Structure 1
Amino acid sequence: MTTTLIVFTDLDGTLLDHFDYAFTDAEAALFSLKTLAIPCVLNTSKTYAELLELRLALRHKDPFIIENGAAVYIPANSPLVNIHDLERRGDFYVQSFGPKRQHLIELSQSMKSRYDFISYHDLSTEQLMEHTGLDYQTAELSLQRDFTEPLIWNDSNAALERLRHELAAQGIKAQKGGRFVHLMGAQCDKAVAMNWLKQAYQDTFHEDLKSMALGDGENDVGMICEADIPVVVRSPVHVPPEIPGRYDVWITDSYGPKGWSEAINKALVNEGFI
């Protein structure tokens, strides 16, 4: 059985620069993956609407995972088997793992009197631009969510733990990302979506796949922990997250897309691709 590689990557602060969302330093490594026919799966907190635009800029043709593992989108022309029974959305088949956003909005509104946060649903485009540095068009796309509801968390860490406990009883979790706390279904996770898609590749190509996961934040810990090649991309704004039970984690020397490229190139050498 042939062994090959599949890359799963976070975007903000990882493939994209934390401050200006540029990916210039990653372009050469992205081209290497494409040349070697190594799938590069975007595994992000971003929305479907955001990914449609970003994939054009990245010239991305592979499947992608949105809203912290809430759903996998597979291009309709993909050779992956057993996808045609999935929900169809435009040019993609969709495997979802959690409830729709409206349920999460209603839940967050019911908790506003007990916790100090601002819900994404309550933000105008201009307010989101102020919080994130996104331009107007990208901020509008970010507000078009399907499966998750981000919160700007202004309360204590202790209060966040109480919220998590309260939500768990309702099958919902609160996951902390780079800028927001994301409400989502308990089964929505970057690692769950990663493993589901990896299995789809294995079922189709009958190859022994080695997964590589790259991320910089708490919401990336699960997928990094379960990857064959775990990579933490160094951030300019916070310390590297701990990856429990893994003592083989690569922590990049450089920040963001430059560090991402370092890790990709190292993996390609180590795995004998170049």
Structure 2
Amino acid sequence: MKKVIFTDLDGTLLDRFSYSYNQALEAISLLHNKEIPIVFCSAKTRAEQEVYREELNIEDPFIVENGGAIFIPRDYFLFPFNHHKATKDYLVIELGIPHRKVRKVLKRIKNEVGCHITGFRDMSVEEVARDTGLDLKFAALAKQREYDETFKIEDTQEKIELALAKIEEAGLSYIRGGRYYAAISGNDKGKATEILIGLFRRKLNKMETIGIGDSQNDLSMLKAVDVPVLVQKLDNHWEEINLASIYKVEGVGPQGWSKAIKELIGG
């Protein structure tokens, strides 16, 4: 039976701090040899993901900005399907609203509440690099957001809670990761995964889908696949995820990712 891999990036395929995928290279070669698609499903931007796709010789569709959009290489699916726009390289299915609209809402809330909201777009490349641990190249790519805005709120707890409540009142939602939040509207990793699974079924007929993640933010993707896999976090524990069928693999980040592929796909 054909298989398709859906994977998170940070803390899963990529090391949480060094962003290295070296420990997963052998498993990626195994997937290439068996012609098994590797679909990125991540908070990272299109620009960031394109670098990893090129470096790892991956030519499959990918899901950006927490399910903000699906980028499908032209001629990948040789049948017509609904999409929202076409670029030189991709057919794009959009679930999220444009970045500029998210920014507009955040700016209004910042003024209403009188709090200090700072988005990636407000920061220099150097500031993003210093805050995130990304190098300057990837910090610049992380700023190129199209369907969400990464931001931080530096203020009293009362103002932080008020700003977050107003974000939801405005019809947006937010995801928290460390110091930062992602403001989104319509972005859905699970729905994006389901859409792609439907397209792959039209292409491959019978198939099995495997999803690999490390955190609660991956839950909707993991719920959408046949075999959900959880790798360990830095202190060698698995995040608490309410999913009965979850396959927990030992190994942090790319080490666990590699082990999962070898166990589920075989040599």
Q: TM-score, normalised by structure 1?
A: 0.87
Matched residue, 2:188: 189
1:69 aligned counterpart, secondary structure: coil
Gaps of 5+ in 2: none
Per-residue deviation at 1:248? 2.4
Query: Is 1:175–1:182's contact at 8 Å kept on the other side of the alignment?
Result: yes
Per-residue deviation at 1:178? 5.8
Q: TM-score, normalised by structure 2?
A: 0.90
Query: Is 1:80–1:200's contact at 8 Å kept on the other side of the alignment?
Result: no
Tell me the distance in 1 between the aligned counterparts of 2:154 and 2:264.
Answer: 39
Matched residue, 2:241: 243
Moved >6 Å (runs of 4+): 155-161
Matched residue, 1:39: 37
Tell me the distance in 2 between the aligned counterparts of 1:238 and 1:112.
Answer: 38
Give the AA of the match of 1:204: K
Gaps of 5+ in 1: none
Tell me the alpha carbon deviations over residues 213-248 of structure 1, each in whole angstroms, 9 at most, x when there is no partner: 11122321211133211112212169633322x222
Alignment of 1:45-60 (within 5 A): 45-60=43-58
1:15 to 4, 13, 16: 13
Query: Is 1:177–1:217's contact at 8 Å kept on the other side of the alignment?
Result: no
Distance 1:24 1:142, change over 3 A: same
Tell me the alpha carbon deviations over residues 165-219 of structure 1, each in whole angstroms, 9 at most, x when there is no partner: 533443321012466311111x3111111000000111233x1332211112232
Tell me the distance in 1 between the aligned counterparts of 2:82 and 2:107.
Answer: 37
Matched residue, 1:218: 216
Matched residue, 1:170: 170
2:255 to 255, 258, 273: 258
Query: Is 1:119–1:151's contact at 8 Å kept on the other side of the alignment?
Result: yes
Per-residue deviation at 1:15? 0.4
Identity among equivalent pairs (%): 30
Distance 1:137 1:247, change over 3 A: same
Distance 1:268 1:226, change over 3 A: same
1:101 to 99, 102, 105: 99
2:170 aligned counterpart, secondary structure: coil
Instruction: Give the count of matched residue pairs.
Output: 265
Per-residue deviation at 1:160? 6.6
1:88 to 83, 86, 105: 86
Give the AA of the match of 2:213: G
